[in-house]
Amino acid sequence: MKTDNIKNALVIGATGGVGKDIVLKLIEAGFHVVLSARNKEKLTVFADSFSKDCVTIIAADLSESESIDNLFSEIESSFTNPINLVVVAAGGHVATSLDDSFEKFVEDTNSMVAQNLVGPAMAMFRATKYLKENRGGRIINISSHAAYKVLENNMAYAPAKSGISSFVEQLSAATGEIVHVTDIQPAVINTESMTANLGDQAEKAIQPATIGDMVAMVAELDKHTNIPLLRVDADVVF
């Protein structure tokens, strides 16, 4: 599908607890949004809640470099005006502590590094190549306060988040003013999967819509303005 919309965005992890609200806020801001995630069926169901001229579906698996490359190749062939915003809201979480077995620690660490570091880093690297070839733009990564805080039961998750935030710093330094890169590091977010775990603290947690608002705000900054890091706190102990 060819689209000549001026403001085009790609949201990777579009069907996730935070991704959905990011998509909604970007559409409200006038963006045509490419919805990307691994599960095409979920993407289709989510896309059906919007007008067809607001969204495009391109499934991609961040665990496969070829899938990431194909995502951007398809975008290049589909858009008259290029994507100028890429949001990476993909990842996963599993609790890991010293009480776990060595085997579980190894499994959890491999999984968390793959989901929260390697996959997002590949996506942002490829996105940067695309943006540099198409008049520049912005990349926004949704990380976690675990990137800079010591949190209980996060011996696999936190190092992976710290790693991806470090990668974002390196990427931002390398791109100059052609591509601006922002790392958003929120505290606990009250996503659908977290509400039951948070219990009576759910209202104190960050709401997904807040992250959507922040992404939309950064997306509308002029090309000379960059915000490398945004931290969002919440009065929640979890």
Region 56-74: what's the mean pLDDT?
A: 97
pLDDT band at 199 (very low <50, low <70, confident <90, very high): confident
pLDDT, one tens digit per residue, over 154-174 is: 999 999 999 999 999 999 999
pLDDT tens-digit readout, 94-120? 999 999 999 999 999 999 999 999 999
Q: To the nearest whole number, what is the mean pLDDT of the chain?
A: 92
How do residues 176-195 score in pLDDT, each as one tens digit?
889 999 999 998 887 766 66
The model's pTM: 0.93
Amino acid residing at 226: N
- Residues 131, 139: Cα–Cα separation, whole Å: 9
Contacts of 208 (CB under 8 A, 6+ apart): 17, 18, 20, 21, 189, 190, 191
- Determine phi and psi for 236, rounding to 5 degrees: -130, 135
Q: Where are the domains of the chain?
A: 8-228
Exposed e or buried b for every residue in 19-46, given b needs 16+ CB within 10 A? Answer: bbbbbbbbbebebbbbbbbbebeebeeb
Predicted local distance difference test score (pLDDT) of residue 195? 63
As a CATH number, domain 8-228 is 3.40.50.720
